[in-house]
Every structure is written in structure tokens, then in C-alpha cells.
């Protein structure tokens, strides 16, 4: 095993791979270089701290000294890696606190650069009430602004995961919320009929949804927001949640391959085109195991799995990473929407033939108190019968069903196999034929009738 592992970037990817490396070997040197001031934290917890659901800031942070002591890792915070000399196997860096430069040699280098918030190029976004939401620093800025300025209204630009979660949490802080989205729906990862259910819930909670609109300018010191259509709206606070951009500049400068998705290309062991350099997390381009296309998915589960793959490969135990399905879930108050794989839009864009089954059922036996509407939508290949993607939405049971479908897809079950999955039943939990089973029966019945 190599003597010195250098990791660029902390948070989920870098911190986790360091922990996995130490688990496998007690003797190697591990050095982590992190541009920010935290070695590890939960990005996913940021909206919930702002909303007060998670009251303790420290609960979503990992103490740097504790991490260093536990995993015997040299941690360099506020230190930016500026270049990679692949021939000499060393990185150059600058200490951002005292502006001192240095270098560090490596046997293996692991890149976990993450991604940055997408910021539109429009005037006056530097106003004191305009904030991206990506890092702990961003979180602290928003939290401080709310505490000190007591805003009454907020505009959220972007209706993806973070936009929806921030909408909920700003409502919990007592703000009136508008959400601006340049497409025709929230949660572009959902099919439009599924997104409509989320939109209804958001409107029911008082959110004003502005579709087919894009932010063009900020005026009046940051309180007036102008759309490209010419419409204007006012708010005390602007949250930018317009997606992310993989941080690939260091890799590009070093001659590492950038792929179709603008991520750093990784092979099945998470190696770049330089076998001594690995990549993981938000900036990594892997493979979609459904359609075998390049895929870049900024989620926590893939980053943690990739960390395990890299650590074991360095230790001489080659375990291939088999791709990212993109299983995810989002909540808005009591409503949850789960998703995996491909939606109608992506399947059509890739000219992939598919059929669809939709089940509108109850979360458990309808006669048992507390039963809630549940909708499941599933796309599958009409010939191979392989499941291509699925979405669930409801106030109870959406998470359970998307997880069952995720396991089915990982196990290469067909849509017809869903009818045979023996799921736990009692009236408080499900029905004798679970909605997932019904999807299988419906697809199978249509196939038999066609024959």
C-alpha cells in the first residue's frame, strides 16, 4: 500500500474516504487539504438549520480536531490546492490565512472538489440580502441575516431540491415566500403530472409560484427583482438555488479528462485517466447503469459508496463501482416525492422506447385510520421489461415504495417481477396487494393482452 495519500476537499467525499483508508491501514499518512473552514458537514442539513428544525448548528458539523485525532489525518483548513504536478506526483497549495505557498508529494491523490452554486451574471447580486445556498458559510450568512434583519418576504430563484426545501423552512421562519422557476414546473426531475401535486401543496401553504421566469436584474438595493419578461417583484431576501457547477478547474489544468456531463471522468474504480489520481463526489462523472450513458449525480449516497470503492482499491481490493441510479427524495411539509432513474423528458430526449404505468392508491388499507393518497409512476422498456425509472408522491409511504423499486432495479428485476415481491402487510402499513405489486400486475396484464 502507498505511504502517503493526499486528499483535496473534505465534506462527504474527502472526509469519508479518509476514514475508510484509515480503517484499512493504520500506518499510511493521510493529508487533507480543504479550502473552507470545515472538514466535514451535512449539506443536506443546511435548510433545516435555517428553518429551526435542526436547532443545534454543531449537530451538522464534524469537529476538525476530533476527526484528526480519530483518523490520524493531517488536516489543512483554509488551504487551496492550486496545481497538480503529475510527473513529480505533488500538489502545490496556498494557505489562505497567511498567503504562504507550499507543496506536498503524494503516492496517490484523491480529488473531492465538490461543486459550486450556479450564480447568474446579473447586476447587484452582491446586495447584502442575496445569498446562494451551498456551504456552511452560506448557511451562516442566511441565518444571521434572518436573525438580525427579520425579513418578512423571500424570493427563491430555482425550484429544485434546495429550492423546495428552503421554501418550507423559510415559511417555518414566518416569511412569505415566492418561488421563481425558469421552466414550467418545480422539480424538473419529476414528470409534470407528479410535479403538479407538489405545486398544489406549495400553493396550499401560501407560496406564490412564478414559472417560465428568469431573474434578470436586482434593483433598489436588493429589494426589487426584475425578470427577463419584464415582470417585477419585491422581497426582503433572495435565495439563489439555481443548480450547481462541478469544480473541475484543477483537474482540467492538470490534463485530467472532463466528460460529457462536465464532470471528471472516472473508471469503475473511480480512477481518472491518471491511475494515481482518483475522483469522487459531486465532480465525478460515472455511468448510468440503466442506459449505460455518462452520468454526474451530486448526491450523498454515491459519494459515500465511491469513498469505499477508492479506499479498497488503494488497499489492493478492487471492488467496481457499478454506477449511480440517482435515487432521491424530497419533502415539503407532510408531502414527500421520491424518484429514481429516468423521467419522461430524459427518455424522450435519448429516443429510448418506454411504456408507463401509474397507480393511484392508498398508503395503507383504506379502512384503517390515517390512510393517505399515494401516486406511483413507473417507466419501463416494452421489450426487455427493464425498469427505467420511477417516481412516488404522497404524505405517507412514498419513501417505502421508491426504496422497494430501487432495490428491484438494483437486482435487475423486470416490471413484471414487481407482482411477485412479497411485501409486509398489515392494515396500518399496506394492502394485501401493495401498490408496487399492482404496478407489476398492470404491466403484465397489458403484455399478456397484447400477445
pLDDT-based confidence at residue 223 (cuts at 50, 70, 90): confident
DSSP conformational letter for 184: S
CA dihedral 46, 52, 55, 58 (to 10 degrees): 20
Higher pLDDT, 128 or 201: 201
CA distance 157 to 243: 10
pLDDT in the model for residue 212: 96
Find the mean pLDDT for residues 432-438.
96
Does the pLDDT of residue 451 top 60, yes or no? no
Query: Contact at 8 Å (CB) between 172 and 337?
Result: no
Determine whether 44 is an active site residue.
yes
pLDDT in the model for residue 132: 93
Query: What does the pLDDT look like over 112-124, one tens digit per residue?
Result: 999 999 999 998 8
pLDDT in the model for residue 222: 80
pLDDT in the model for residue 450: 61
CA distance 190 to 436: 18
Find the mean pLDDT for residues 369-385.
97
Residue boundaries of the structural domains of the chain = 4-43+59-116+245-314, 119-242, 335-450
Cβ within 8 Å of residue 227, ≥6 positions away? 180, 210, 213, 214, 215, 216, 233
Does domain 119-242 fall under CATH 3.30.930.10? My reply is no
pLDDT in the model for residue 411: 97
Q: What is the mean pLDDT of the chain?
A: 95
Task: Please name the CATH architecture into which domain 335-450 falls.
Answer: 3-Layer(bba) Sandwich (3.50)
Does the pLDDT of residue 188 top 70, yes or no? yes
Task: Please name the CATH architecture into which domain 4-43+59-116+245-314 falls.
Answer: 3-Layer(bba) Sandwich (3.50)
Q: Where do runs of H (alpha helix) occur along 119-271?
A: 136-149, 161-172, 192-204, 249-253
Query: Contact at 8 Å (CB) between 244 and 115?
Result: yes
pLDDT in the model for residue 394: 98
User: Catalytic: which of 4, 25, 44, 276?
Assistant: 44
CA distance 344 to 146: 39
Query: What's the whole-model pTM score?
Result: 0.94
pLDDT in the model for residue 12: 83
Does the pLDDT of residue 302 top 90, yes or no? yes
3-state SS of 336-353? EEEEEECCHHHHHHCCCC
pLDDT in the model for residue 1: 61
Ramachandran class of 388: left when φ > 0, alpha when ψ lies in -120 to 50, beta otherwise: alpha
Cβ within 8 Å of residue 236, ≥6 positions away? 129, 149, 151, 152, 153, 154, 175, 223
Two domains, one topology: 4-43+59-116+245-314 and 335-450: yes
pLDDT-based confidence at residue 41 (cuts at 50, 70, 90): confident
Does the pLDDT of residue 81 top 90, yes or no? yes
Distance of CA 334 to the CA centre of its chain: 20
Does the pLDDT of residue 87 top 60, yes or no? yes
Amino acid at each position: 500500500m502507498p505511504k502517503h495519500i493526499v486528499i483535496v476537499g473534505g465534506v462527504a467525499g474527502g472526509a469519508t474516504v479518509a476514514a475508510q483508508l484509515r480503517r484499512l491501514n493504520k500506518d499510511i499518512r493521510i493529508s487533507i487539504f480543504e479550502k473552507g473552514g470545515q472538514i466535514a458537514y451535512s449539506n443536506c442539513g443546511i435548510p433545516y438549520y435555517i428553518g429551526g428544525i435542526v436547532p443545534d448548528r454543531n449537530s451538522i458539523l464534524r469537529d476538525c480536531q476530533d476527526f484528526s485525532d480519530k483518523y490520524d489525518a493531517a488536516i489543512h483548513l483554509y488551504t487551496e490546492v492550486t496545481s497538480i504536478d503529475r510527473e513529480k506526483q505533488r500538489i502545490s497549495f496556498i494557505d489562505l490565512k497567511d498567503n504562504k505557498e507550499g507543496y506536498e508529494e503524494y503516492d496517490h491523490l484523491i480529488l473531492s472538489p465538490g461543486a459550486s452554486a450556479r450564480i447568474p451574471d446579473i447586476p447587484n447580486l452582491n446586495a447584502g440580502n442575496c445569498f446562494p445556498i451551498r456551504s456552511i458559510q452560506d448557511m451562516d450568512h442566511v441565518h444571521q441575516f434572518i436573525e438580525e434583519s427579520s425579513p418578512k418576504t423571500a424570493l427563491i430563484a430555482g425550484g429544485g431540491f434546495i429550492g423546495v426545501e428552503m421554501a418550507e423552512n423559510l415559511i417555518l421562519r414566518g416569511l412569505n415566500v415566492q418561488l421563481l422557476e425558469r421552466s414550467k414546473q418545480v422539480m424538473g426531475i419529476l414528470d409534470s403530472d407528479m410535479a403538479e401535486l407538489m405545486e398544489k401543496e406549495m400553493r396550499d401553504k401560501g407560496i406564490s409560484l412564478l414559472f417560465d421566469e428568469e431573474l434578470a436584474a436586482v434593483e433598489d438595493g436588493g429589494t426589487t427583482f426584475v425578470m427577463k419578461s419584464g415582470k417585477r417583484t419585491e422581497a426582503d431576501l433572495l435565495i439563489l438555488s439555481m443548480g450547481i457547477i462541478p469544480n473541475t478547474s484543477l483537474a482540467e489544468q492538470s490534463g485530467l479528462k472532463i466528460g460529457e456531463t462536465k464532470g471528471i471522468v472516472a473508471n469503475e474504480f473511480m480512477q481518472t485517466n491518471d491511475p494515481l489520481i482518483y475522483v469522487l463526489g459531486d465532480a465525478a462523472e460515472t455511468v448510468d447503469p440503466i442506459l449505460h450513458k455518462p452520468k454526474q449525480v451530486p448526491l450523498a449516497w454515491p459519494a459515500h459508496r465511491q469513498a469505499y470503492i477508492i479506499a479498497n482499491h488503494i488497499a489492493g481490493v478492487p471492488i467496481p463501482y457499478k454506477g449511480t441510479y440517482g435515487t432521491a427524495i424530497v419533502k415539503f411539509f407532510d408531502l414527500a416525492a421520491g424518484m429514481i432513474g429516468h423521467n419522461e423528458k430524459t427518455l424522450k430526449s435519448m429516443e429510448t422506447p418506454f411504456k408507463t404505468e401509474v397507480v393511484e392508491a392508498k398508503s395503507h388499507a383504506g379502512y384503517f385510520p390515517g390512510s393517505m393518497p399515494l401516486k406511483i409512476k413507473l417507466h419501463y422498456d416494452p421489450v426487455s421489461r427493464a425498469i427505467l425509472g420511477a417516481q412516488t408522491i404522497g404524505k405517507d409511504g412514498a419513501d417505502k415504495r421508491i426504496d422497494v423499486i430501487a432495490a428491484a432495479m438494483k437486482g435487475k428485476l423486470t416490471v413484471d417481477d414487481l407482482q411477485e415481491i412479497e411485501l409486509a402487510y398489515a392494515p396500518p402499513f399496506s394492502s394485501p396487494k401493495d401498490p408496487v405489486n399492482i404496478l407489476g400486475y398492470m404491466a403484465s396484464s397489458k403484455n399478456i393482452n397484447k400477445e
